[in-house]
Amino acid sequence: MDLMTKLALTELQVRLMHAELFHQPAKNQSIQAKVELTLKPQLIAGDAVHNQFSLDCLAQVQGQLVANEGSLDVFRIELRLMANYQQFSGEPLSAELFGEYHSSVARQLYPVVHLRLTELLQQLGLSNVQLPLDLMHLNAEPESPHVQSQAVH
């Protein structure tokens, strides 16, 4: 079930932003960025009646320099967002159905996560790191709560 056809994103709140820079690479060095996106539905008392749902989104990014001798950690970012959705069409969804199919909204949520992560990378002085622009190409089950990607740039 594709929840994007039934739900609209009504609010997005940053809950946590944490970034660590371990090593400042040269501008021409390749950084391998691993992105993991974890989505967890959150129950809000009384909201099932109003067809409102919340989704906890945790994005974790680890960046490493890859060299012949091994790898060197460059940065680590953790970003937690709370996304609130309102149902606008179809039969009323139950909390159970939202919980089962919540990962179908990941492609809608990821561009906002991508923007926030890019801003943090620039603040760390890492404007040369490119994150995946979309989740479509990733090898993850549609209902999987974890989505991972690796990109070398």
Band (48; pLDDT cuts 50, 70, 90): low
8 or 30: which carries more pLDDT confidence?
8
- Res 57 pLDDT > 70: yes
Report field, pTM of the whole predicted structure over 0.85: no
4 or 145: which carries more pLDDT confidence?
4
Give the residue among 33, 29, 21 at the shortest CA–CA distance from 62.
Answer: 33
Instruction: Please report, for the chain, how many H helices and E strands are present, in that order.
Output: 2, 5
